[in-house]
Amino acid sequence: MQLRLFVISLFVVCLFTGCPGQNRPAGMPELFSCKITITQGGQPLQDALVDLAPEEAALGWTITGITDAKGIATIKTQGIYDGVPAGAYKVCVSKAESAPSKFPPPTESATAAPAAWDEWRRNVETEIVPRYSLVKPEYNDKTQTPHSITVTKGKNNATFDVGEAIKEEIK
């Protein structure tokens, strides 16, 4: 009876937390914890994409994170697996935003006709709005970024500043 309860408990734990190595791609190397804090002009930069680009040969794995309100990105491999393979990386950072739509949505009233919403969706879907980079382009270029990190066994934490804020149209 106790063995049966243990097996059921183990199954439930694996179901909700994942078993070690579960669904991990073949050939994925060991991963190490990595948190990178990004600041802009000394202030935390929220919603920035942090991409680690291997300094040597390509790994074949995507290694990224998105910064939170404190500017901290927990870096993941393939967007799912916590951590980063050991190695030297260039730290690339980007953040962009779109200009607001020139088409305001229909009023939120209960009487707004479905046709008004359909027309609004058609307008927004076909609208071309400018996009703006909010981080200097050199910080998103592996060959130009001054930032790098060497990931080793254990926890890897670093802070990088991407200079003053900009708002430059992406062409």
pLDDT tens per residue across span 88-137:
999 999 999 999 999 988 876 656 688 888 998 999 999 999 999 999 99
Output DSSP code: residue 137. G
**Which pTM was predicted?**
0.77
35 and 117 co-located in one domain:
no
Cβ proximity of 133 and 96 under 8 Å: yes
Predicted confidence at residue 35, as pLDDT, reads 98
Residue 56 belongs to a domain with what CATH number?
A: 2.60.40.10
Predicted confidence at residue 25, as pLDDT, reads 86
42 and 62 co-located in one domain:
yes
156 and 84 co-located in one domain:
yes
Q: Considering its fold, how many domains does the chain have in total?
A: 2
DSSP H helical segments within the chain, as ranges? 2-17, 114-126
pLDDT in tens, 38-60: 999 999 999 999 999 999 877 78
148 and 81 co-located in one domain:
yes
Cα radius of gyration rounded to whole Å, the chain: 22
Structural domain that includes position 106: 96-133
88 and 100 co-located in one domain:
no
